[in-house]
């Protein structure tokens, strides 16, 4: 995922160019790439006009809802007191025709926005090659951003959806290679490879395999979680400071990850189980986010698009001195 600062008008073209390049990489034709350009131009222009500390996150997505380009726009500006009014064509506070957000929504196959007075705005738009696509509600979303100045992300994630063994659930891995840069990315990429080779093993067993397989790398922190809807639990096994939490309404329960470095030092590998229902959220973060993040103060965010939730957490709780990855997953009803 690419992070593009958008705080002045000269950066709008850069954001558009990067998004269109992503669309071309996915095989979008000129018409579909043009829709991506419209969305990014409108959102980037709004960030310059109305936002503060504007940032766009751009990258491909592929999940049960489809494949395409995901655009997340974040700012720390004044926000909106009335989102419905802001989305209405003709509404403007900046002297424009007031068609920007409406155009973004029409050009996107998935769209969600969250804003609070004085707490900025976050928006996610997903554009698919087929404008007629009607994607399903995604079960998960993520933000994964390298440390500013780095070309590669030392974190990695992998989400395996319904169909693990005899269960209809999901299994998730987040790996944070030690440090940042190419060697950190090598460790986290190897963790994903081993995870994919052993999808039906229990989380603790997978983590044992990953720990052994990272010995030739610099190692890192790794956490694996599995949701089993028939049992109503999420099982978590972790080494190091990739941290998880079950969010159930206003209650946040942090999960346990044992001390160590996968690939080098792990005194013990142990699984922990937590109650988890279909409408709960599971959040898994690398240590690019502060451990004390919270959804308090963001009314209604629990029900938003998972990528939007991840984007708001990244915006407000990223440390800014390391790679940052946030994954947000909902349960799946069996």
- In the 3-class helix/strand/coil scheme, how is 167-225 assigned residue by residue? CCCEEEEEEEECCCCHHHHHHHHHHHHHHHHCCCCCHHHHHHHHHHHCCCCCCEEEEEE
pLDDT at 84: 66
pLDDT above 70: residue 86: no
Neighbours of 35 (CB within 10 A): 24
The C-alpha atoms of residue 78 and residue 141 are separated, in whole angstroms, by: 25
Q: What does the pLDDT look like over 178-188, one tens digit per residue? A: 999 999 999 99
pLDDT band at 129 (very low <50, low <70, confident <90, very high): very high
- Please give the Cα distance from 119 to 104 (Å, whole number): 22
Q: What is the pLDDT of residues 203-249, one digit of tens each?
A: 999 999 999 999 999 999 999 999 999 899 999 999 999 999 999 98
pLDDT for position 82: 58
pLDDT at 57: 98
Is residue 133 very low, low, confident or very high in pLDDT (cuts 50, 70, 90)? confident
Highest-pLDDT range among 98-102, 126-130, 275-279: 126-130
For residues 249 and 227, give the distance between their C-alpha atoms in angstroms, rounded to a whole number.
Answer: 18
How many whole angstroms separate alpha carbon 253 and alpha carbon 275?
A: 10
What percentage of the chain carries pLDDT values higher than 70? 91
Q: For the domain covering 140-330, report its CATH number.
A: 3.60.40.10
Contact 244, 283 (CB under 8 A): yes
Contact 101, 49 (CB under 8 A): no
Query: Domain limits of the chain?
Result: 2-127, 140-330
Residue linked to tokens 């942090």: 254
What is the per-residue pLDDT for 164? 46
Q: Which residues pair with 170 in a beta bridge?
A: 227
Annotate 163-201 with b (16+ C-beta within 10 A) or e (fewer): ebeebbbbbbbbbbbbebbeebbbbbbbbbebbeeeeeb
Q: What is the pLDDT of residue 265?
A: 95
Which residues fall within 8 angstroms of residue 187, CB to CB, at 6 or more apart? 154, 175, 177, 178, 214, 217, 218, 219, 220, 263
Residue 88 has pLDDT above 80, yes or no: no
What are all long-range contacts of 24-27, with beta carbons under 8 Å and residues at least 24 apart?
A: 25/60, 26/60, 26/67, 26/68, 26/69, 26/129, 27/129
pLDDT at 83: 62
Q: Give the pLDDT band of residue 261 (cuts 50, 70, 90).
A: very high
Q: What is the pLDDT of residues 30-85, one digit of tens each?
A: 999 999 999 999 999 999 988 888 999 999 999 888 899 999 999 998 776 656 66
Contact 87, 125 (CB under 8 A): no
Reading the block at residue 134, the tokens are 């009607």
Class of domain 2-127: alpha beta
């Amino acid at each position: 995922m690419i992070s593009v600062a958008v705080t002045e008008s000269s950066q709008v073209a850069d954001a558009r160019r990067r998004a269109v390049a992503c669309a071309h990489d996915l095989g979008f034709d000129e018409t579909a790439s043009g829709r991506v350009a419209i969305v990014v131009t409108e959102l980037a222009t709004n960030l310059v006009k109305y936002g503060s500390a504007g940032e766009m996150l751009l990258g491909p997505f592929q999940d049960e809802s489809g494949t395409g380009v995901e655009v997340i726009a974040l700012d720390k500006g004044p926000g909106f007191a009335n989102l419905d009014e802001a989305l209405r064509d003709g509404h403007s506070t900046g002297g424009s025709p007031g068609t920007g957000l409406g155009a973004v929504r029409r050009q996107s196959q998935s769209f969600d926005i969250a804003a609070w007075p004085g707490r900025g705005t976050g928006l996610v738009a997903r554009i698919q090659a087929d404008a007629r696509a009607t994607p399903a509600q995604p079960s998960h979303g993520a933000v994964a951003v390298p440390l500013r100045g780095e070309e590669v992300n030392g974190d990695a994630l992998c989400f395996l959806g319904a169909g693990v063994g005899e269960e209809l659930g999901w299994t998730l891995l987040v790996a944070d290679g030690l440090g940042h840069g190419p060697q950190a990315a090598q460790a986290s990429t190897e963790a994903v490879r081993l995870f994919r080779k052993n999808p039906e093993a229990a989380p603790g067993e997978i983590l044992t395999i990953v720990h052994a397989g990272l010995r030739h790398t610099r190692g890192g922190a790794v956490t694996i979680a599995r949701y089993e809807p028939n049992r109503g639990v999420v099982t978590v096994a972790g080494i190091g400071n990739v941290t998880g939490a079950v969010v159930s309404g206003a209650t946040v329960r942090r999960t346990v990850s044992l001390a160590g470095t996968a690939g080098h030092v792990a005194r013990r590998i142990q699984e922990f189980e937590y109650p988890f229902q279909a409408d709960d959220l599971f959040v898994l973060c690398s240590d690019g986010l502060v451990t004390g993040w919270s959804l308090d103060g963001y009314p209604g965010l629990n029900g938003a698009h998972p990528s939007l939730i991840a984007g708001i957490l990244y915006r407000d709780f990223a440390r800014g001195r390391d790679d940052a990855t946030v994954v947000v997953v909902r349960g799946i009803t069996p």
